[in-house]
Amino acid sequence: MLPSHRKINEVQAHEIDLAEDAGLFSKATFDFISLQAGGRVNLGYIKLDQKNYLRTKRQEAIRQREAGALLECFEKKRIDDPSFFSAIQLDVDDMITNIFWVDSKMIIDYETFGDVLSFDTTYQMNREHRPLASFVGLNNHRKMVVFGGALMYDETSESFQWLFETFFKAMSGKKSKIIFTDQDAAISKAISLVMPEVHHRLCVWHMEQNATKHLNQIYKRYASFRGDFRRCIYVYIDEDEFIDAWNSMLDEYNLHENEWLQGIYALREKLFASDYNIVQFFKHYDRAIEDKRYNELQDTCDASQRFPVLKAQVHILAHAREVYTSHIFAYFQDEYMKSLSMKVNRCEDNNLSTMYKVSKHGHTREYIVKVTEIGHISCPCMKFESMGILFCHTIRILDVVRGVSRIPTEYILKRWTIDAKAEDIKEVDGQDIEINDPKLITTNRYRVLCPIFVKLVTKASETDDGYKEAIVCANELSSKLKEIMKVANSSLCTSGSKRFIRSK
């Protein structure tokens, strides 16, 4: 117990560091390491020593200044991931304004699922009040996938413009078809400058959160208001129905003069906690990303091991089960079951198209579904355009009226399929694209090699002989790779010298 006899050794220090990176509280860390040592009396230090060790470590990080420490983290990540990309925006005094980063997995995910992009700045670090800006989307299991992150010290339209330009630069210039954001004037201005061709829509979840702030008294006074407001923003698809419901809501709660609701209505076409320092925050951000990627791996594994059960033995459902991930198939199957309660009446037929009236049994609301002579089908509900899968009205026409046994190819979005992450990228004419971008080539190699070596290492670690053999092979491979890199670097230096001589 004497200070002169207490010491945290290197192994214990490493375990404390790992526990902090994993987000464990100080007491839990101390108790766990004590158990490993056979009790606190065998530990060699007390809880105060652990607290002082962590404080000293953090002070050293602060002395490097937050930005310097974060840049050091980035450099370490770049060693492990050559395609890791980061950028920093400086102000007129050369002070860091904003920080942006993506890794190779984010780049690959955006290449596959980046057609729809959501940009969110609602997360904040409580101590420094720096919003975490996240670029996110949905993968083929309909789960959130992260495309990039940024720490925003400044939230002006100029900063958002820099951020969007940097993001698309990291993604080799590829832009999304649609972007969802919060209602923010600075963000809207930056989007109009950087990506005027991209459809900008407001996230209804954010709007609902804002409503609780701007209409707090209405929420408290009327218990039914929340339900009426949610129906307006989530349920009604037909514009006339939405307008009627909106006006009824304003009448019911006397809100015709409410400025915030007036502003939201004008934008109706677009409606479709931590106390860590910056280095600790980035480590926990990495762990959160890793959790999501592990969940995606589990979803992929489950899809390969389990076959969803068909609720009806029909060809179109069997085809959907073959092509879609289990999550998307569940949506499609639910829509198929809904289609069974639909009745269809032919209402018009001409040389170019056929029109059908589709309605639910017992309901008067009708949808006019149009089928052209070449088989293109459309419905005013616009569900395929918004969700990417066929819905009950169109399924009923295809299944019963047209006798289609397979989902037409044009109505199968690759992003929802089991093979969404197939390695080959096809051009319009079906030919393979030759990827010339060194960044994408490197990330593809990395993606292929990682699971191979993880499996080998897992097998090798199960036995002592396997472990020894793996060490020998790893050393041999390391030596060969060093020689390959020497040759590659030598070639680069030679070609660089020749270019320099020619330029002179």
Query: What's the average model confidence in pLDDT over 453-468?
Result: 86
Whether the pLDDT of residue 434 is over 50: the answer is: no
**Is residue 73 within 8 Å of 282, Cβ to Cβ?**
yes
Single pTM value for the model: 0.60
Q: In the prediction, which pLDDT does 130 show? A: 58
Whether the pLDDT of residue 29 is over 90: the answer is: no
- Helix, strand, coil % (nearest 5) of the chain? 55, 15, 30
Write the DSSP assignment of 226-245 as a string of letters.
HHHHHHHHHT--SHHHHHHH
DSSP single-letter state for residue 127: T
Neighbour tally for 384: CB within 10 Å: 17
Question: What confidence tens digit (pLDDT) does each residue in 282-291 have?
Answer: 777 788 888 8
Q: In the prediction, which pLDDT does 318 show? A: 92
Q: In the prediction, which pLDDT does 425 show? A: 39
Six token digits for residue 102: 């993506």
Query: What's the average model confidence in pLDDT over 241-260?
Result: 88
Helices (H), 43-129: 47-63, 66-80, 104-113
The CA–CA distances, whole Å, from 368 to 146, 240, 302, 348, 394 equal 38, 15, 39, 10, 10
Closest-CA residue to 15 (of 60, 72, 35) = 35
Mean pLDDT of the chain: 80
Angle at 324 between CA 319 and CA 325, to 5 degrees: 140
Q: In the prediction, which pLDDT does 430 show? A: 40
Whether the pLDDT of residue 274 is over 50: the answer is: no
Helix (H) or strand (E) holding 405: none
Q: In the prediction, which pLDDT does 71 show? A: 77
Query: What's the average model confidence in pLDDT over 287-300?
Result: 81
Cα(359)–Cα(412) distance, integer angstroms: 24
The CA–CA distances, whole Å, from 51 to 41, 44, 97, 245, 467 equal 18, 14, 32, 59, 37
Residue type, 414: K
Whether the pLDDT of residue 439 is over 60: the answer is: no
Q: List the chain domain ranges.
A: 3-63, 68-270, 315-416, 438-503
- Tell me the Ramachandran region of residue 376: left when phi exceeds 0, alpha when psi lies from -120 to 50, beta otherwise: beta
Handedness of CA 437, 438, 439, 444 (dihedral sign): positive
Higher per-residue confidence, 409 vs 92 = 409
Q: In the prediction, which pLDDT does 127 show? A: 44
**Is residue 139 within 8 Å of 420, Cβ to Cβ?**
yes
Rg of the chain taking only CA atoms, in angstroms = 29
Q: Exposed, middle or buried by CB within 10 Å (0-12, 13-18, 19+), for 67? A: middle
Q: Give the percent of the chain with pLDDT over 70.
A: 83
Query: What's the average model confidence in pLDDT over 222-232?
Result: 87
Q: In what order do the strands lie in the sheet with 144-152?
A: 85-90, 96-102, 144-152, 130-138, 116-125, 178-181, 199-202
Question: What confidence tens digit (pLDDT) does each residue in 70-111 have?
Answer: 777 888 888 878 888 899 887 666 667 788 999 888 998 998
pLDDT band at 422; cut points 50, 70, 90: low
Whether the pLDDT of residue 503 is over 60: the answer is: no
**Is residue 390 within 8 Å of 416, Cβ to Cβ?**
no
Query: What's the average model confidence in pLDDT over 496-501?
Result: 43
Question: What confidence tens digit (pLDDT) does each residue in 159-202 have?
Answer: 899 999 999 999 988 999 999 888 788 899 999 999 999 998 87
Could you tell me how far CA 258 lies from the centroid of its own chain? 35
Q: In the prediction, which pLDDT does 432 show? A: 43
pLDDT band at 336; cut points 50, 70, 90: very high
Whether the pLDDT of residue 277 is over 70: the answer is: no
Closest-CA residue to 150 (of 84, 237, 86) = 86
Q: Which of 26-35, 119-128, 144-153, 372-381 has the lowest mean pLDDT?
A: 119-128
